[in-house]
Chain A
Amino acid sequence: MNKGFCLLAQNNGKTDYIKQAYALACSLHMFNKDQKISIITNDVVPEEWQSVFDQIIPIPWSDSAEDSDWKIENRWKVYHASPYDETVVLEADMFITSDITHWWEELGKRELFFVSNVRTYRDELVTKTFYRKTFVSNDLPNLYSAMHYFKKGDTAKEFYNLLEVIVNNWALFYSKYAKENYQNWCSIDLCAAIASKILGNEKDITDPNSFITFTHMKPRIQGWYNVPDKWTKVIGKYFTDEGILFLGNYAQTRVLHYVEDEFLTEEIIEKLENGKTLLS
């Protein structure tokens, strides 16, 4: 089966998601041999960055997020745009710190898989629900779409078709399935959770004990008593020449969802580019 990673990236006025996707692809190549990575975008990918991508794919149909800042309205299209039979979808602001090629074997046992057990930068299981109040109070599956997997087939197609309907009518679905602690914006995590709830497939598409997870850097879930508005204000980052990423005092070994744009400095990108040869 044809396997690969898909990154959906659309720049907005504030963030260069193409650059983030490029850095993510570099980090994937740095630690994972012979992986295919496609970027789905309508933005221009600079020529010097194109070589890290297997394919550059335009967003199917029209750009549903043309007037949106967060640009999540196109996320459901990944299923249709992916050139692979098995796809791991990653958000652009993620960073790979180790070899994850063994995941394919585990993920291959599923039709769909979402992470539901994210970790802190100190590798502790996140138990705080600050950002998940609506999930908890509406008894919705605790899904994180920043990294998920699908295998092309009826199961995943049914899920994404429903996801499309929910994303396009999110306020209606929220009022029915997520009315407690109502969230007045559309998020893919919540839409995916509602889709899972409707389909009754939570047990099939996630496992809170899975080793497939990622480190989530939203500040209020890091186990700090004094919480800053951005994690980058209170702990340092250091990317060594040997390819070890430190956040604070901790070497990172999991997939990192760094959240804050300022994490990705030119220095890190340069080291990623130089580190392309680490595995060769």
Chain B
Amino acid sequence: MSKGILLFAQNNHSVDYIKQAIFCAKKIKKHLGLPVALATDNPDYLEQKYPYYKKYIEHVITQEWYDCAQKRTYRDGTMSNRDLEWRNHNRSTAYDITPFEETIVMDTDFIIGNNILLNAFDTDQEFLIYRHITDLNMDRPDEYRFNKISDRSVDMYWATVFYFKKTEGMKFFFDLVSHIKENWSYYRLIYQIPRRTFRNDFAFSIAIHIINGFQRTNWPKVLPGRLWFTSDSDVLIKIDDENYTFLLDKKNWEGHYHIGTAKDVNIHVMNKFSLDRAISEVLANE
């Protein structure tokens, strides 16, 4: 069975997700040694701006560009933020577009630091996903750890990174995610989600809940390892090979941080601006 990683990158006016994807693919090559497919609505930009991308990305999948009315606030630490387009609607196409029979899909701001995820290919499960995050910032209050998609609602699963096999069951799952996405205003009311913004995490969580017969079960199983996480209130200040140094938001002290480091971990860096600054240095010599 063919195995590989699928990334999605759709830039907005301020965040270069394609650049993140190249850095992400570089780390995948180093730690997982798997082929990478990139789905993007701007392949020309990829070719022109990053001509060396073929070192890390084997498949480029062109996706249709569409206008996006959805916005979200992107923070750069606690003192700076911008409202930008959030073009995240294509995740449910993963089943149809992946060139692999077994695929790990991951966000481009998810940095691979070890080979633990290779174990996902050694199970008989058709779907693996993280149920919990491990916050690098232990100072953050519990309610920001997203155990549920809202206070009264269902268990949160993280679409940041997940594994699937091409099976009939997974086809059904992705069709259901698409249905939820298309009827988001209905589902967000039923599932008591205050914000209007569509999130893949929420759609995946709702689909899992529905498939489980509106109950908690032991499906799906969790991906191997931990999903480390830093929020966009934290700031990535340095990447030194496999060492990452962050300024972590200090509780009740806006604009103040404590320092934290992570090494050899798989970590989701939600502050896109600081990630961009840090990977610029890493990719400077490509």
B216:A246 contact, CB within 8 angstroms: no
B151:A253 contact, CB within 8 angstroms: no
Check: B143 CB closer than 8 A to any chain A CB.
yes
The answer to whether residues A224 and B216 also contact, given A249-B190, A249-B209 and a CB cut-off of 8 A, is no
A61: min CB distance to chain B, Å: 45
- Note all chain A residues with C-beta closer than 8 A to B147: 223
- Note all chain A residues with C-beta closer than 8 A to B216: 122-124, 250
Check: A234 CB closer than 8 A to any chain B CB.
yes
The answer to whether residues A249 and B153 also contact, given A122-B216, A225-B143 and a CB cut-off of 8 A, is yes
What CA separation (Å) do A124 and B215 show in the bound complex? 11
What CA separation (Å) do A224 and B153 show in the bound complex? 10
Check: A226 CB closer than 8 A to any chain B CB.
yes
Check: B213 CB closer than 8 A to any chain A CB.
yes
B213:A224 contact, CB within 8 angstroms: no
- Which B-chain residue is minimally distant from A252 (CB atoms)? B215
B152:A250 contact, CB within 8 angstroms: no
Number of interface residues of A (CB under 8 A): 15
Number of interface residues of B (CB under 8 A): 16
B215 touches which of A225, A226, A235, A253 (Cβ 8 Å):
A253
A26: min CB distance to chain B, Å: 23
What CA separation (Å) do A223 and B151 show in the bound complex? 8
B212: min CB distance to chain A, Å: 9
Check: B214 CB closer than 8 A to any chain A CB.
yes
B215:A224 contact, CB within 8 angstroms: no
A249:B213 contact, CB within 8 angstroms: no
A97: min CB distance to chain B, Å: 11
A248:B151 contact, CB within 8 angstroms: no
B151:A250 contact, CB within 8 angstroms: no
B279: min CB distance to chain A, Å: 35
- Note all chain A residues with C-beta closer than 8 A to B214: 246, 249-251
A226:B151 contact, CB within 8 angstroms: yes
B152 touches which of A123, A224, A246, A251 (Cβ 8 Å):
A224
What CA separation (Å) do A248 and B151 show in the bound complex? 11
The answer to whether residues A225 and B191 also contact, given A122-B216, A246-B214, A249-B209 and a CB cut-off of 8 A, is no
A248:B152 contact, CB within 8 angstroms: yes
B217: min CB distance to chain A, Å: 9
- Note all chain B residues with C-beta closer than 8 A to A235: 152, 192
B154:A249 contact, CB within 8 angstroms: yes
What CA separation (Å) do A180 and B209 show in the bound complex? 42
- Note all chain A residues with C-beta closer than 8 A to B151: 224-226
**Beta-carbon contacts under 8 Å, A220-269 to B:** 223-226, 234-235, 246, 248-251, 253
- Note all chain A residues with C-beta closer than 8 A to B215: 123, 250-251, 253
- Note all chain B residues with C-beta closer than 8 A to A251: 213-215
- Which A-chain residue is minimally distant from B209 (CB atoms)? A249
Question: CB-CB contacts of A53-64 with B at 8 A, as 1s and 0s?
Answer: 000000000000
B269: min CB distance to chain A, Å: 26
A250: min CB distance to chain B, Å: 6
- Which B-chain residue is minimally distant from A249 (CB atoms)? B154
Interface residues of chain B, those whose CB is within 8 Å of chain A, are 143, 147-148, 151-155, 190-192, 209, 213-216
Query: Can you name 13 extra interface pairs (CB under 8 A) apart from A249-B209, A253-B215?
Result: A122-B154, A122-B216, A224-B152, A225-B143, A234-B152, A235-B152, A249-B153, A249-B154, A249-B191, A249-B192, A249-B214, A251-B213, A251-B215
Q: Would you mind naming 15 contact pairs between A and B with Cβ atoms under 8 Å apart?
A: A122-B155, A122-B216, A123-B215, A123-B216, A124-B216, A223-B148, A224-B152, A225-B151, A226-B151, A246-B214, A249-B209, A250-B216, A251-B213, A251-B214, A251-B215
